[in-house]
Amino acid sequence: MGIYMGMSLNTDTLNITREVLSLVAELDEFKGAWRALRMLAPEWLLLRTL
């Protein structure tokens, strides 16, 4: 049993479907890409828009 945001979560009966797992994976991939974009130099971003 874990506590998340003040709510208890019974991990013994938690059922993660393939659809939910796929959505979490997509969010994780987007987050990684967003972090990578933040690390790019502004000059490089300007060149990419031309």
pLDDT in tens, 1-50: 555 566 777 888 888 999 999 999 999 999 988 888 788 777 776 765 55
Other C-beta atoms closer than 10 Å to the C-beta of 5 total 5
The CA dihedral of 39, 43, 49, 50, to the nearest 10 degrees, is: -160
Extents of the domains making up the chain? 15-47
Tell me 27's DSSP state. H
pLDDT at residue 5 in the model:
66
pLDDT at residue 26 in the model:
94
- The half-sphere exposure of 34 on its side-chain side, counting CA atoms within 13 A, is 6
pLDDT at residue 47 in the model:
63
pTM of the complete model beyond 0.85: no
